[in-house]
Chains A and B, each alone.
Chain A
Amino acid sequence: MTTASPTLAAPGLGRRLSRHPGFVVGAGLALLLLLLAVFGPLLAGHPDITHYDNQIAAPSVHHWLGTDDAGRDELARTVAGARTTLGAAVLVFALTTVIGVAVGVLCGFAGGVVDAVLSRVIDVLLGLPSQVLALAVVGVLGPGFGHLLLAVTVAGWASLAKLSRSYTLGSRDRPDVLAAAMAGVPRARVVVGHVLPGVAAQALVAATLGLGDTILTLAGLSFLGLGVQPPTAEWGSMLNGSRLFDTAAPWLLIGPGVGIVAAVAAATLISDALRDCTDPDRA
C-alpha cells in the first residue's frame, strides 16, 4: 500500500479542489448526469411505450435520438437508463464502502484470530483479477440485477477493507482515542465516535477513486447480457440490444454510448483531482 494515504482532513481541500480544472469539469458533468437521472424522466416521457408502426426511425423533431426496434423513444430510454446505470453504481459504491469499513474496523479492533482470518481473505481477494471475479459470480449465479450488484460488490470491497484496517490500527494510539478510553468511555462508543468518522472519510475517498471502474464493469457486464434484463432501460444492455440492428440504425449508439463515456469521464476526472489534492506528497 502507499505510505502516505490520502486524507479528507487536509486543510483547504475544498478550495484546492475548486481551483482544479479537472475537478470543475468532472463535477459539472456529474451534476448534469445526476440532474438528468433525477428529473430527466419527468420531461423525456415513458421509456417503455412501444410503437410498432414506428420502428427504428432515424432521429427527428419528435424523437431526437430516433426510435429502437420496438418503436420506443431512444431519448426517453437513455434518460431512464441514466437512473438504472448511475443508481447501480451508487448502490455498489455504498455497499462496498459500508462492508469495507465494517470489516476493516472489526479487523483493526478485534485483532487475534478474527483479524488473521479476515486479513487472509482480503489478501486473497486482492490477488484476484476483479473483472474475472465479477464475471464468474454472474456467470455461475445467472444474469440479473441483484447478481450483478453482488458480483461487483464482491470484487470491490476488499481493497477498502484493507485500507480501513490499516487506518484503524493507526488511530488506536491516537491521543483522543486513548484519552476517551482512559476516561471510561465504552469501547463501542470510542469506535463509533472517534475512530469510525476518520476511517469512513478515508474509505469514501478511496471508493471514489474506484467509481469509474465500477461503472465500466457494470455497463460491460450488462452489455454481455449478464446484468439488467430487458425491457428495463440500462445503457449497457441498450447497446447490447442495438447490436442486431445497428448497421441499419447507428443512431442507437449515441444515447447510451455518450452516457457511459460521460459518466466514466466524470468519475475519472473527480478521482484524479481528489488524488492530486489529497496526496500529501503532491500537495
Chain B
Amino acid sequence: MLKALTLRVAQAVLTLWVTSVLAWVLLLHAPGDPARTVLGARGIVTPTPALLAATRKQLGLDGPVLPRYGHWLWRALHGDFGTSWQTGRPVMDEFATRLPATGRLTLVALGISVGLALVLGLMSAITQGRWADRMLRAVMLLMIVVPGFVVGLFVLNVLVVHWNLGVVVADGSWRTVGWPAATLALWSVGYWGRILRGSVLEAAGAPYLLVSRARGCSAPRRWLLHVLPNAAGPFLTVVGLGTATLLGGAPIVETVYSWPGVGEYTVQAIGARDLPVVVAYTICAVGLYVVFGLLVDVLLAALDPRLRRSTVRARPRRAAVAA
C-alpha cells in the first residue's frame, strides 16, 4: 500500500512537471511580442525599440531559455506564477480574488449533481429494461448531449428575458448562483448518473445478491447496503475528478453567465494574450486534477480492501470534465 502510494505521488509530480515543460514549449512557439502586449496594456501602441528591449528585460524575457525556465520553476514551486501582463498584479492574487465566486458555483453545482445523479442512476438501474428506465436513460442522454453554452444562452434569452423566470445578475454571490449552477450540473448529472447505472448493474449481477435475496433480505437494504457500496468506485472517481475540474472554474459556463470566477477570468486573459495567467491556470488546473485523482485513489483504497493489495485503479476512461 505504501509502495503503491509512493509510486502514485511520484507519478503525480512527474505529470505536473511534464505539464510545465509542455506549457513552456508552447510559450516558445507563441506568436506575438509579449513586450508589445504589456506596453499595449499601458496604452503605448507604438513603442520605440529601446523601450521594447527594456520591457523585455524587465519581464525577464531576455537570455537563454533554460535558465529562464529554471527561474520560473523555482518561483512556481513557491507559489509565485509571476505577474499578469494586463494589470501588473501577481497572477495568484488575481486568481484568489475570483476563487470565492468559483467556489460557490462549484459547491452548489456539486450538491445538485451528486444528489440527482445518485437518484436517477440508481432508479434507472433498479428498473432496468422497464419504461421508467427507458425514460431515465433518455433524460440522462439528453443531459450530456446539450452543451452548457446552449443551455446557458437558452436560459438567459428565453427563460429569463422573455418569460421572466428569475434574475441573472452575475455578481458571483449566493443569491444569483442558481441558474449557472443548474446549467453546470446538467451535464454532470447525466454523465455521473450513466456511470452509476452501469456500475450498479455490474455489481447487481453478483451471486451473493441472489443468496441474500433468498435469505429474505429486503429490496431497499439489498440495493443501498449491498449493491451501492460495491458500485461506488467509478462513481466516486468521476465525482472527485469532476470536483477538481469545477474548482478550476468551468470556463464555458462562467463565460456564458459572465460569472466572475477563475474560468471566465482565464478566457478573458486568453483574449488579451496575457500568457502568464494562461500558463498559471493550466498548471493549477492540472495540479487540482492530479491531487484530487490521488485523493480519490486513497479514498477508494480505504473503502475497498481489494484495492489495497494492488495498484489497479477503478477509473473510467473518459475524464470527467465540465462542458
Contacts and interface: CB of A to CB of B under 8 A. Distances in A.
Given A127-B11, A212-B145, A132 B285 contact: yes
A226 B30 contact: no
A84 interface: no
Contact of B279 (A2, A140, A246, A260): A140
Given A136-B23, A139-B270, A224 B154 contact: no
B293 to A, nearest CB: 7
B158 interface: yes
B241 A239 contact: no
B27, B150, B156 interface centre (most CB from chain A within 10 Å): B150
Contacts of A212: 144-145
Nearest to B263: A135
A239 B150 contact: yes
Q: Contact residue range for chain B? A: 35 or more
Interface stretch (B55-63, B83-91, B243-251): B243-251
A131, A137, A138, A242 interface centre (most CB from chain B within 10 Å): A131
B19, B23, B322 interface centre (most CB from chain A within 10 Å): B19
Contacts of A272: 141
A220 B270 contact: no
B282 interface: yes
The binding surface of chain B is classed by DSSP as helix
A128, A141, A142, A272 interface centre (most CB from chain B within 10 Å): A128
B169 interface: no
The binding surface of chain A is classed by DSSP as helix
A141 B214 CA distance: 63
B99 interface: no
A136 B153 CA distance: 25
Interface string A211-224: 01100100110011
Interface string B224-257: 0000000000000000010011001001100100
Given A136-B23, A247-B157, 20 more contacts: A121-B18, A124-B18, A127-B11, A128-B15, A128-B19, A128-B289, A135-B251, A136-B279, A141-B30, A142-B31, A219-B149, A220-B252, A223-B252, A223-B255, A239-B149, A243-B153, A250-B157, A261-B145, A264-B145, A268-B145
Interface of B: 11-12, 14-15, 18-19, 22-23, 26-27, 29-32, 141-142, 144-150, 153-154, 156-158, 161-162, 241, 244-245, 248, 251-252, 255, 266-267, 269-271, 273, 275, 278-279, 281-282, 285-286, 289-290, 293, 317-319, 321-323
